[in-house]
Amino acid sequence: MAVGIFDSGLGGLTVLQAAEARLPELPFVYLADSAHAPYGVRTADDIFDLTCAAVTRLFEAGCNLVILACNTASAAALRRMQESWVPSDKRVLGVFVPLIEALTERQWGDNSPPREVNVKHVALFATPATVASRAFQRELAFRAIGVDVEAQACGGVVDAIEDGDMILAEALVRSHVEALQRKMPEPDAAILGCTHYPLMQSSFQAALGEEVRVFSQAALVADSLADYLDRHPDMLGTGERCFLTTGDPRRVSDRATQFLRRQIVFQSA
* Euclidean distance between CA atoms 97 and 220, whole angstroms: 10
Helices 218-231, 96-103: axis angle to 10 degrees equals 100
Query: Which residues are catalytic, by number?
Result: 70, 194
* Euclidean distance between CA atoms 190 and 209, whole angstroms: 11
127 is in an annotated binding site: no
* Euclidean distance between CA atoms 76 and 210, whole angstroms: 32
Which residue, among 178, 203, 184, has the nearest Cα to 192 in the 3D structure?
203
195 is in an annotated binding site: yes
238 is in an annotated binding site: no
Q: Is the sign of the CA dihedral 72, 77, 81, 82 positive or negative?
A: positive
Burial class of residue 154 in the structure, from the number of CB atoms within 10 Å of its CB (0-12 exposed, 13-18 middle, 19+ buried): buried
SS3 255: helix
71 is in an annotated binding site: yes
8 is in an annotated binding site: yes
Query: Cβ distance 227 to 196 under 8 Å?
Result: no
197 is in an annotated binding site: no
In the annotated binding site, the residues are 7-8, 39-40, 71-72, 195-196
Q: Which residues are annotated as a binding site for substrate?
A: 7-8, 39-40, 71-72, 195-196
